[in-house]
Amino acid sequence: MAASTQHKPRIVIVGCGFGGLEAARALKNAPLRITLVDKTNHHLFQPLLYQVATAGLSAPAIAAPVRHLFRKQANLTTLLGKVTGIDTAGRQVLLEDGTALPYDHLIVGAGAGHSYFGHDEWAPYAPGLKTLDDAFEIRRRILLAFEAAEKESDMDRRRAWLTFVVIGGGPTGVEMAGQLAEIARQTLPGEFRHIDPSSARILLLEGGSRLLQTMPEDLSRRAKEQLEKLGVEVRLDARVIAIDAASVKVQPAGRTSGGDENYTIESRCVVWAAGVAASPLGRQLAQATGAHCDRAGRVKVEPDLSLPAHPEISVIGDLADARSYAPGRQPEPVPGVSPAAKQMGRAAAANLMRRLANRPTRPFRYRNYGNLATIGRNAAVVDLATPAGRHIKFSGYPAWLFWLFAHIYFLIGFRNRIVVMIDWASAYWSQQRYARVISDIGL
């Protein structure tokens, strides 16, 4: 193509999560002017963020500088900036510093944050886990809780410092609870003089009737068993109705609870893994384009991931309320997992190229290769889906090994893979966590 730079279409991609990254990569050799804008300078490998929060990995091990990842992609410019709005009529992306980025085509993968279901007042007492800062804050709270317990002479208050509550039984909640149990039972014993860290209580509260609801029921049961073997108290049908600095109030619901009295858990360290809310850009885009927006703030997209009457805008990843169109089957909702975000990124890029070539776009089809969640040392559950639609399910040690290699394989950047492997190998053999470092203990 001999077009001069000025005539190349301007593409803006918002967000360098899994979706934005894949979209940018898929457009690598196209005659375009791409700007990739994000409010952080790194791509975060979110499936391992809980390891940073639980002092198993350092931040740089799971974060790769975006500018470096795209240094050789000549058609792409990286921009560090916070997107505050999208002018869909004027076709420009507005940044906080006043910059306006004009676009011919726009791909929005701004992702999601926490949702406290209308109880934002809980946020200071129960941090969620989406960014590196979140992970540092949770790491700080976990390690300082043990330190505070060591100094506390009042037995009730000591017990509260040694009670950890994880709210939400999805993959993040299950992983956090498993790691907390390992820290208490395997990493810290022998290091304190006044407390026994292995006496710490770890509670996992789930409002529904089973853990890991996107997985088959027998794996949910297996995950619960494995957590309980690690010493986690799993409470199902346990709805959180209040959180403050020193306690969590729970309302039991449904059949498995055995009682219906509300009760209070005294705890000084609570982690929120229950709800996500899409970026506010979703609601803004929906208002501007007339697209539908669901309660979580996700924008309903067309089958090809574009917005109604705005074929120049695609929405992908956790920000999109998308359907999967498989031949001969009813459209199915796409789950909020990283493989789905990656596939949407590639699909949006491919449809963008089809549009530029005046060819018809294709509906998005999500290919589910399976689900996996880890629980702790040697424990995980895996549900693999074969192309023929069959499921291969396994748990325990083989599942854990599978999880381990899958995660190392998908880590972005070769160096990270090696360091993460060493960290895990050394953590595995020594039962230690080397990243037990708090930069600001907030004394």
Site for a second copy in 93-122 (CB under 8 A): 96-97, 99
**Which lies closer to a second copy via its Cβ, residue 236 or residue 435?**
435
Nearest distance from residue 291's CB to a second copy, in Å?
Answer: 27
Residue 312 touches a second copy, criterion: CB under 8 A? no
**Which lies closer to a second copy via its Cβ, residue 188 or residue 380?**
188
Report the distance separating Cα 344 and Cα 365, nearest Å: 9
Residue 68 touches a second copy, criterion: CB under 8 A? yes
Give Cα separations from 145 to 107, 274, 332, 420 (angstroms): 43, 22, 44, 27
Q: Is the dihedral of CA 357, 358, 362, 363 positive or negative?
A: positive
Residue 82 touches a second copy, criterion: CB under 8 A? yes
Q: Which amino acid belongs to residue 277?
A: A
Picking from 337, 340, 308, 310, the residue whose alpha carbon sits closest to that of residue 324 is 340
Nearest distance from residue 191's CB to a second copy, in Å?
Answer: 4
Quote the crossing angle between the two packed helices 414-430 and 397-410, to the nearest 10°: 150
**Window contacting a second copy (CB under 8 A); options: 33-41, 103-111, 173-181, 341-349:** 33-41
Report the distance separating Cα 317 and Cα 150, nearest Å: 44
Nearest distance from residue 158's CB to a second copy, in Å?
Answer: 15
Residue 426 touches a second copy, criterion: CB under 8 A? yes
Residue 392 touches a second copy, criterion: CB under 8 A? no
Of 51, 78, 172, 374, the one binding a second copy (CB under 8 A) is: 78
Of 1, 2, 4, 72, the one binding a second copy (CB under 8 A) is: 72
**Which lies closer to a second copy via its Cβ, residue 123 or residue 418?**
418
Give Cα separations from 188 to 241, 426, 431 (angstroms): 32, 16, 9
175 included as an active-site residue: yes
**Which lies closer to a second copy via its Cβ, residue 11 or residue 334?**
11
**Which lies closer to a second copy via its Cβ, residue 39 or residue 300?**
39
- Give Cα 261 distance to the centre of its chain: 33
Contact 185, 231 (CB under 8 A): yes
Residue 73 touches a second copy, criterion: CB under 8 A? no
Tokens coding 35: 């700007």
Residue 147 touches a second copy, criterion: CB under 8 A? yes
Quote the DSSP letter at residue 334: P
Burial of 45 (0-12, 13-18, 19+ CB in 10 A): buried
Quote the DSSP letter at residue 186: I
The residues with which 202 forms a beta bridge, in sequence order, are 164, 232
> Pick the catalytic residue: 137, 175, 182, 302?
175
Q: How many residues does the chain have?
A: 443
**Which lies closer to a second copy via its Cβ, residue 135 or residue 174?**
135
Of 192, 397, 405, 428, the one binding a second copy (CB under 8 A) is: 192
**Window contacting a second copy (CB under 8 A); options: 102-110, 272-280, 382-390, 412-420:** 412-420
Of 293, 419, 424, 431, the one binding a second copy (CB under 8 A) is: 419
**Which lies closer to a second copy via its Cβ, residue 197 or residue 336?**
197
Binding-residue pattern over the window 279 to 308 for a second copy, x denoting contact by CB under 8 A: ------------------------------
**Which lies closer to a second copy via its Cβ, residue 64 or residue 112?**
64
Contact 342, 327 (CB under 8 A): no
**Window contacting a second copy (CB under 8 A); options: 40-48, 233-241, 284-292, 318-326:** 40-48
Burial of 293 (0-12, 13-18, 19+ CB in 10 A): middle
Report the distance separating Cα 142 and Cα 13, nearest Å: 36
**Window contacting a second copy (CB under 8 A); options: 21-29, 162-170, 345-353, 428-436:** 428-436
Contact 392, 354 (CB under 8 A): no
Nearest distance from residue 63's CB to a second copy, in Å?
Answer: 4
Report the distance separating Cα 376 and Cα 386, nearest Å: 26
- Give Cα 389 distance to the centre of its chain: 26
- Residue 98: Cβ within 10 Å count: 7
Nearest distance from residue 85's CB to a second copy, in Å?
Answer: 15
The residues with which 299 forms a beta bridge, in sequence order, are 293, 320
Enumerate the active-site residues.
175
List of residues contacting a second copy (CB under 8 A): 39-42, 58-61, 63, 65, 67-68, 70-72, 77-82, 96-97, 99, 131-133, 136, 143-144, 147, 150-151, 190-194, 413, 415-416, 418-419, 422-423, 426, 430, 432, 434-441, 443
